[in-house]
Amino acid sequence: MKILVTGGNGFIGSVVVRMLRARGLAVRCLVRRTSRLDRIAHLGCELVVGDLLDFASLASAVKGCNLVIHLAGIAKWNLIHSPLMFDVVAGGTLNVLKTATDARIERMVYVSSTIALAGTRQPALRNENSRSPLRLERYAYARAKHQAEEYCTTYGDRMSVTVVNPGEVYGPNDIELVTAGNLIDFANANPVAVCNGGTSIVYVDDVAAGIIAALERGRNGQRYILAGENVTIRRLAELTNELLSLTKTYVTLPTPVVRAAAWLGRMFHVPLPFNPNVIPYATLYWFTDNSKAVRELGVRFRNAESTLLPTLEWCRSTGRVPAGRRRAA
């Protein structure tokens, strides 16, 4: 049994690879020539150089494998408007599906996102049957993820394809600061400016366990939400500083003001105390119901405090947040 993992060197992917190797499974990772490998270099997995847009390299990578976990894509906020977003996330997924069926792969798990099914102006729980309420042409990442899932659906009669939808993933070793950057901003600002909005946060190990459970027990053509506690942006900021034993003042900015500032900052390169690319997403609610994954996959998700604490310990140990007073886990 050999498992191909695309994006296995990434934040989530490296934990998936670690868990698979801990079970004694053979893992092949598709990586790019420029990929950082420090998170998986010690795990003893096979490395194959390739690219989602290079069909020949994908065909080579999948050869001899039995199962595929597809995580690779574009996830950095600064690349959210990249002209390659749709081609890499959606087109790359289609290429993986094509090569996997050609190689007679038995089963594939596609790692999507709750961004493909949530995003409401007021708090509302979304589940696996929810259709995205967004005008997708305005949200490049959501559009690309949604289309990638559509491609997965069309291949369900050729092999078993299961989709998982992680929430906002936190944990140590987020070296790109995709989500840890939020906590760092909250910890280093005073007053702390927050917006109206909310998200489902989840610990990286819980997501990785859910992905593997979906590979083992997920049903063909089904989605599974891998997300933990639903929290508002303000509560996320408050909890961050509580866990760091920091006392702060919080200011909730009106959504129109935040969005206008983000637009001006992005269009005219005006320096802002936040990443303007995040704002269209942060000012919505991404609240989800994880009960299907708990029921069918047998996975469990820790609460917000247990999700953030090890993330903040890593941020503190690397000098990214104030030392504060340590709290016991």
pLDDT of residue 271: 86
pLDDT of residue 326: 55
pLDDT over 60 at 327, yes or no: no
Residue spans of the domains in the chain: they are: 2-167+203-227+288-301
Q: Average pLDDT over the chain, rounded to whole?
A: 95
Do the Cβ atoms of 162 and 211 come closer than 8 Å? no
pLDDT of residue 273: 76
Do the Cβ atoms of 225 and 289 come closer than 8 Å? yes
The β-bridge partners of 126 are: 288
Q: What is the per-residue pLDDT across 206-246, written as a single tens digit (0 to 9) for each?
A: 999 999 999 999 999 999 999 999 999 999 999 999 999 99
- Looking at the domain that runs over 2-167+203-227+288-301, which CATH code has it been given? 3.40.50.720
pLDDT of residue 126: 98
Determine the average pLDDT of the residues in 22-26.
98
pLDDT of residue 272: 83
pLDDT of residue 328: 52
Helices 11-22 and 204-217: crossing angle, nearest 10°?
60
Q: Which of 304, 280, 73 is nearest to 197 (CA)?
A: 280
Q: Which residue has the tokens 């394809």?
A: 161
